[in-house]
């Protein structure tokens, strides 16, 4: 008997085979086979995994959401994340700091200068000699070039700017560098991904690798991909950063989360970006 109990997946198969006539109400189901296209642009939400990858196929969180939530992302007019994108565009053109310049004064049109950036984040920064997230790059340039105060990680300004810059990579494949000086960070991130934390004693992998596709109470577990961030979460009624999501998942298992912007979360972000390599950037995605 116990030999049978390898993991939840086998059981789902058993349950589906034998006991489909369940009395138990399930929430609105998702269409895992739906394809996403936004204003005619094809978004890759499913892609084959390379050989040394822990997953057989790489799936965006979009595939696991209800049909209603999925629909919100197919049209930018319906996507509630676009209020923040508009604010980001406004900030891009606003002069600030001791330089008296706006981002646009130096960087020109974000559509050109910032294209592809999100897809490569987080990345090694030669000057600072460390791995930096998109948030880090923005604050670094505000300080170094604009002469302005850094934005707080989860401030409406930072969320708006990361959403606006992320959008410039929408549809491009996530492709991060994990070799060279980033290798150490990658290993650390991988380690954190498989470390059991909290009173519930779970690792990210227990839910997002071993059990994606399964319902955990009313939630349909995805692979925990980060290609849509910052995402608009219906529960948050607004955008949230990647590190906010990590933090929430850790709190749910009664663990003390690392700080937003910490080396730990930055390493985890790099590792997760690699796990989702080949998926399109979806920023700003919509999740429940």
Q: Cα(269)–Cα(150) distance, rounded to whole angstroms? A: 21
Query: Does residue 217 belong to the site contacting another protein (CB under 8 A)?
Result: yes
User: Which residues within the stretch 149-188 sit at the binding site for ligand HEC (CB under 6 A)?
Assistant: 161
Residue nearer to ligand HEC on the CB measure, 51 or 287: 287
First to last CA, the chain: 37
Tokens of 78: 């319906």
DSSP 246: H
How many other CB atoms sit within 10 Å of the CB of residue 23?
A: 4
Whether the bond between 132 and the residue before it is cis, its omega within 30 degrees of 0, is no
User: Which residues within the stretch 13-52 sit at the binding site for another protein (CB under 8 A)?
Assistant: 14-15, 19, 22-27
- 137, containing H or E segment: helix 134-141
Residue nearer to another protein on the CB measure, 156 or 211: 211
Q: Cα(189)–Cα(269) distance, rounded to whole angstroms? A: 7
Residue nearer to another protein on the CB measure, 2 or 98: 2
Query: Does residue 200 belong to the site contacting another protein (CB under 8 A)?
Result: yes
Catalytic residues: 249
Query: Does residue 207 belong to the site contacting another protein (CB under 8 A)?
Result: yes
With beta carbons less than 8 A apart as the criterion, state whether 121 and 134 touch: yes
Q: In terms of Cα–Cα distance, which of 275, 260, 223, 245 is closest to 133? A: 260
Whether the bond between 122 and the residue before it is cis, its omega within 30 degrees of 0, is yes
**# residues contacting another protein (CB under 8 A):** 41
User: Which residues within the stretch 249-288 sit at the binding site for another protein (CB under 8 A)?
Assistant: 250-251, 253-256
DSSP 184: H
User: Which residues within the stretch 103-142 sit at the binding site for ligand HEC (CB under 6 A)?
Assistant: 103, 105-107, 117, 137-138, 141-142
- In the bound state, the residue with its beta carbon closest to ligand HEC is 61
Q: How many residues does the chain have?
A: 288
- 238, containing H or E segment: strand 238-240
Contact pattern from residue 223 through residue 252 relative to another protein, giving x for each residue in contact according to CB under 8 A and a dash for the rest: ---------------------------xx-
* Residues binding another protein (CB under 8 A): 1-2, 5, 7-8, 11-12, 14-15, 19, 22-27, 195-203, 206-207, 210-211, 214-218, 221, 250-251, 253-256
Residues that bind ligand HEC (CB under 6 A): 5-8, 61, 64, 99, 101, 103, 105-107, 117, 137-138, 141-142, 145-146, 161, 202, 204, 206-208, 216, 219, 221-222, 224-226, 228, 231, 245-246, 249-250, 253, 268, 287
């Amino acid at each position: 008997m116990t030999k049978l109990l390898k993991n939840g997946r086998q059981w789902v198969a058993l349950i589906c085979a034998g006991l489909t006539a369940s009395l138990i109400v399930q929430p609105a189901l998702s269409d895992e086979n739906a394809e996403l296209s936004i204003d005619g642009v094809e978004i890759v939400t499913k892609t084959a995994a390379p050989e040394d990858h822990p997953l057989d196929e790489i799936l965006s969180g979009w595939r696991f959401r209800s049909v209603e939530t999925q629909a919100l992302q197919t049209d930018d007019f319906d996507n509630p994340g676009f209020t923040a994108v508009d604010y980001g565009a406004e900030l891009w053109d606003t002069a600030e700091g001791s330089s008296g310049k706006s981002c646009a004064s130096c960087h020109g049109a974000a559509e050109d200068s910032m294209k592809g950036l999100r897809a490569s984040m987080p990345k090694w920064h030669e000057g600072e000699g460390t791995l930096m997230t998109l948030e880090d790059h923005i604050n670094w340039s505000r300080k170094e070039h604009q002469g302005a105060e850094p934005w707080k990680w989860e401030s409406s300004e930072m969320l708006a700017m990361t959403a606006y810059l992320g959008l410039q990579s929408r549809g491009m494949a996530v492709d991060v560098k994990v070799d060279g000086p980033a290798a150490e960070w990658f290993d650390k991130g991988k380690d954190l991904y498989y470390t059991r934390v909290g009173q519930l004693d779970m690792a990210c992998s227990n839910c997002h690798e071993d059990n994606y596709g399964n319902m955990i109470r009313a939630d349909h577990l995805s692979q925990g991909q980060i290609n849509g961030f910052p995402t608009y979460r219906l529960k948050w009624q607004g955008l949230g950063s990647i590190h906010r999501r990590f933090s929430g998942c850790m709190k749910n298992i009664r663990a003390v989360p690392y700080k937003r912007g910490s080396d730990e979360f930055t390493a985890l972000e790099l590792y997760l970006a690699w796990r989702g390599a080949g998926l399109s950037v979806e920023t700003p995605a919509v999740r429940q």
